[in-house]
Structure formats: structure tokens, C-alpha cells
Structure 1
Amino acid sequence: MATTAKQRRLARRLRQLRTRAGRTVEDAAAELGCKHPKISKIETSLAGVKPEEVRLLCRLYGAGDHTTESMVALARNAKTRGWYLGYHGVANPENIDFAELETDAVSVGNFEIDLVPGLLQTQDYSRAVFRTGLPRISDDDVEHRAELRATRQQRVSNGALSVWAIVTEATLVRAVGGRDVHSAQLARLVELAALPNVQFQVVPTRAGEHVSMGVPFSCFTFDDGSGAVAVDHLTGTLFLEEDVDVERYRLAFQHLCGTALSPQDSLALLRQYIEEGHSSWKPRS
């Protein structure tokens, strides 16, 4: 059976904690009273690890109370698939992994080049994106995927997930789904930007070059401060989980925050496109 995103994250975090503490595989094996190959298998998610074993290892590695409890909870639920498993037959495995990471995260920073981030999309906008990106997709699968995306959005609506979304100005111009769908989407962005757990910024075209040209990505942060990155491409999603990669994308996101208009000015620009866009869409007499 394939490992879950939780199992891989648990394995990675245990390896990171051990190496940061300057402990060897042999030290960890001695703490658990096992042979060192078991530790290697645990750290590569080839073998499971019990919650009480995680607690012992965290103590050996000098992890704080918060990190320890977070790791123990992760071990308890590592094999458990959540609500998203019901969409396994519709979405590909990468979609499921993405939903799992997002469900476990406490915050996400998302940069999109010319699309509204999935967590902020209306269902009609989502349907248009799916039909364009997957020309052979059936109407039923479009509906199921739109439903999956709407379910993911519930954590934003109820405040469980903090979202910091940065888009380029092209997002406000590109009429995905046509005039009515695009208009409703921009209006929805105004509503969502008013939520206390949502930050919305726009990188204006006049800003010129920026650090992430051509590379949309999502940065996930979990309750222990660790993270993961998802980078979309035409044939799927690339997941990056090593510290050096996560930190590189976090730094890129910080640069984008500085390049973008402030949330207040971004909202003003969004409203301007809503007001001026309607007149430009009117048919010429």
C-alpha cells in the first residue's frame, strides 16, 4: 500500500530532528532497543513507527514539548486517510496528496501567475479551469473535482486555514470562463479578502521582473513550524519537502510580498478592474 503524505512527513521530520541534534542512527536504535536498519526504514517511510517510539526519539533529540506532541499526534494518524480519500477515483494521487498536505497545514502561501488560487475560486471558475486544463474530462468528473475544491475551501471559510494569496495583475484581466464567470470571481475575491484569515496581494505588471516568474507554487506550514512546497506543472504536481527547498520557496514568497502592492492597494486595484471591466465588456454599438 502506498505511503500517505503524513507518513512521509513524519519520516522526514524524524530524520531532520535526529541530524539537527547530532545523533546517529545507532543512537536512535539504542533508544528504541532495536537494530539500526529499523531506524533507516522509519526515516525513509518504509516502516511504521509507534507514537510511544516517536516520543522516545523526540526526547533523545531534545525536541520541545510542542514539537513532541505534534509529532506524536502525527504518528497516531499517519496511516489515516481523511475526507479526501472519497475522491480517489476522480482525482489523481497528486491531487489527493495536495489535499492531505493542505488539510494538515495551518497556513498556506500561494502564488499564481494568471489564475485565481484554488482556495479562492468560485465553482464556475473551477469548472472552466478543469475543462481547459483537461480537454477530455467528462462532465461528471468536472463536477466531482469542483466539489473537491469547494470542500477544501471550507477550512478557509471557517477560519481553520490561513491563506496568503499573491497573484499577478494578469489574473484580474484574464476572463476565465467568460465575462459572467470572471465578473463573479472578482466579486468573490473582494468578499474573501475581507476575512481575517485571508491576505490578498497583487503583483502589478508595472513592477517588472520578480523572483518567481513562470513558477506558481504553494508553501504549506504545519503546526510545528515545518513545511512543504507544491509546484504545479502541466502533467502533475512536484512536492518538495527538504528544508533547503522549503526555505528557498519561503524566501521567494517573502520577496513576492515585498514586490506586490499592499493588501489595501491590491484590493483597490481589484475593485478598479471590477468597475472598469464591466464597461469594457459591453458590446460596441
Structure 2
Amino acid sequence: MALRRLRDNAGKTQQQAAEAVGKVRTRIVQLEDGTATASQEDLATLLDFYGITGDERRTVLELGAHARTRQKKRVHVDHLPDSYQRFADLEASASEIDCFETGIIPGLLQSESYLRAILAESEGVWWEQEAVEGRDRLMFREQRQHRILESGDRRILRFVVTEDTLRANLGEPDIMRDQLRHLVALLRSHRDLTIRVLRNDVPGNPSRGRGFWIFGFGDRATPVGFTESPPGPSTYYDEDAVTAAMRRAFYRIWELALSRQESRRLMESILKE
């Protein structure tokens, strides 16, 4: 999945990549879809061809080694440099994304003012004040939104957020109003996107206080689950029993939440308060 992004950034075609390693184009397709693994030599050759160096090169090589030696699916804890890019690669490759968040609007759905406010709350706590990390996170989030929501690629996007998330106090009332208007606009313009709201008074939430993501890839690969904590590390799950449990939890929450239309009406109602 990361290989597709690296190739695109380098301005190379799949055919050119295949010729660089002496393979047929379908082999590159398999590597980029995650249905095959590359040898250490072929992976290094591709990275040379794409001009990849430094931390990103070490990260990809370590991912390749992990994929080749993995005997069975298991939890993977991400301590690698630029681990956020792994999340973006999964997100961009997925044909189906399910997300439950509590207390915060998911990154893909955040308005610019909301995102800036969230980053401002973290600055000086999770990273140094005025550090480049904050600016990088802002740019990265904006790139993710464009990549997923504006690319024209068809994918199913299902989000559930808790009601308290829509009533958060971010210091200035206009920030949350702008975010609510942004959510309503997204629902109007993206037919494959569904946002549902879980009311505060609804019992039976099997993931109370814990958000998570599930990336589905159809027949191309098995699902991958994801959870994170602010200081890190990020944790990925690809064991069938775990991802199946995460799916059960998501669909239970999905059933408990308001419908797409009811959720939109609630957002519009809060806007008028």
C-alpha cells in the first residue's frame, strides 16, 4: 500500500517499476495491493528507483521484513518513524472504512477551524509549543481529507460519533458551529458517506470511551483494525478473531445510533440552539 504512494510521488508507472526489478506489471499490482510480498533485494531496488532515503526508507524496509517473516496474523504495535503515514496508506487503499469516535470528530471529517483548535489544545502538551510537529499534523490531515474525500474514488465511509462530540466547547462557539455546518455539507455532497450520532442516553455501547477504525479491502486483503492513544504508539490488528470482534462492536454501535437523516437533523438542531 505504501509502495503505491511512493511510486505516485516519484512519478513512475507500474510498468516502469516492473522493469526496474525485472518483473511483470501484475507483480507490482500485487505488491501495491498487499496481496504479495517483495524480497529484500526487490524492495531495495524499488526504493532506489523511487529515490527513497532516510527514515522513510528504513520504515518501508522494516515493514517489508515484517511482512515476509510473519508466520501468523497478530497485533502489530507501530513504533516506526512516520507511523502516521502507514495509517494514511491503509485509509487510501481501503474500499470500506468504519470508524467509531467518542469525544472528538474523526480526522477525515474535521473542518479547518476545528482541526486548528484541536491541535492548539495539544500544543505544549503532546509536543513542544511551536514545534514543527503541529504544523506537520495540520498539513497531513488536510492532505488525507483531499486524498479520500476529493479524489473521486468510490469507497464506503461509515462514521459514528457520540452526541457529546457535537456539543464540545473549544473555546469559541463559532468553531463548533463551523464544524457542524461542515458535517452537514459533507453529508449533502458525498453519497457514500454516512455519519450517525450515538445519543448520550442510549445504553448498550460495547466500546464506551474507546474509539477505533476498521479498514476493509474486499477480496484484496483481510481487514485491519486500528486504535491509538495520544502519546502513541499506534496499534494495528489483523488477526481474524480480533477484527471480527471489532466489526461486531461497530455494527452494535451502528444499530444503536440515529439514522443518517436523524443525525443530520440533530446537527441542524444544535446549530440553531
Normalised to the residue count of structure 1, the TM-score between the two structures is 0.65
Distance 1:130 1:71, change over 3 A: same
Match for residue 275 of structure 1?
272
2:244 paired residue among 223, 230, 247: 247
Deviation at 1:182, TM superposition (A): 1.3
Match for residue 103 of structure 1?
92
Distance 1:140 1:248, change over 3 A: same
Deviation at 1:233, TM superposition (A): 1.3
Q: Secondary structure at the match of 1:220?
A: strand
Match for residue 138 of structure 1?
130
Q: Quick one: which amino acid aligns to residue 135 of structure 2? A: E
Match for residue 264 of structure 1?
261
Check conservation: 1:124, 1:177, Cα contact below 8 A: no
Q: Greater CA deviation, 216-225 or 110-119?
A: 216-225
Q: Secondary structure at the match of 2:191?
A: coil
Deviation at 1:109, TM superposition (A): 0.8
Distance 1:102 1:210, change over 3 A: same
Match for residue 166 of structure 2?
172
Deviation at 1:177, TM superposition (A): 5.2
- Larger gyration radius, structure 1 or structure 2: 1
Deviation at 1:162, TM superposition (A): 3.0
Q: Quick one: which amino acid aligns to residue 185 of structure 1? A: Q
Unmatched 5+ stretches in structure 2: 4-21, 57-79
Q: Greater CA deviation, 153-162 or 257-266?
A: 153-162
Check conservation: 1:87, 1:144, Cα contact below 8 A: no
Q: Greater CA deviation, 267-276 or 137-146?
A: 137-146
Match for residue 47 of structure 1?
none
Unmatched 5+ stretches in structure 1: 7-49, 56-68, 277-285
Distance 1:72 1:198, change over 3 A: closer
Q: Secondary structure at the match of 1:257?
A: helix
Q: Quick one: which amino acid aligns to residue 158 of structure 1? A: S
Q: Secondary structure at the match of 1:167?
A: strand
Match for residue 186 of structure 2?
192
Check conservation: 2:123, 2:134, Cα contact below 8 A: no
Q: 2:224 aligned with 1:204, yes or no?
A: no
- Percentage of pairs with the same residue: 26
Match for residue 231 of structure 2?
235
Match for residue 150 of structure 1?
142
Cα distance in 2 for partners of 1:257, 1:51 equals 44
Kindly indicate whether structure 1 or structure 2 has the higher relative contact order, using CA contacts under 8 Å at least 6 residues apart: 2
Check conservation: 2:102, 2:161, Cα contact below 8 A: yes
Cα distance in 2 for partners of 1:247, 1:173 equals 32
Deviation at 1:178, TM superposition (A): 2.4
Deviation at 1:159, TM superposition (A): 3.7
Q: Greater CA deviation, 174-183 or 114-123?
A: 174-183
Q: Quick one: which amino acid aligns to residue 229 of structure 1? A: G
Q: Quick one: which amino acid aligns to residue 148 of structure 1? A: F
Check conservation: 1:5, 1:97, Cα contact below 8 A: yes
Check conservation: 2:162, 2:200, Cα contact below 8 A: yes
Check conservation: 1:156, 1:163, Cα contact below 8 A: no
Deviation at 1:123, TM superposition (A): 2.0
Structure 1 ranges of 4+ moved more than 4 A: 69-73, 76-82, 85-88
Normalised to the residue count of structure 2, the TM-score between the two structures is 0.68
Cα distance in 1 for partners of 2:54, 2:217 equals 23
Check conservation: 1:159, 1:197, Cα contact below 8 A: no
How many pairs does the alignment contain? 215
Cα distance in 2 for partners of 1:247, 1:150 equals 31
CA RMSD of aligned residues (A): 3.5
Deviation at 1:73, TM superposition (A): 4.7
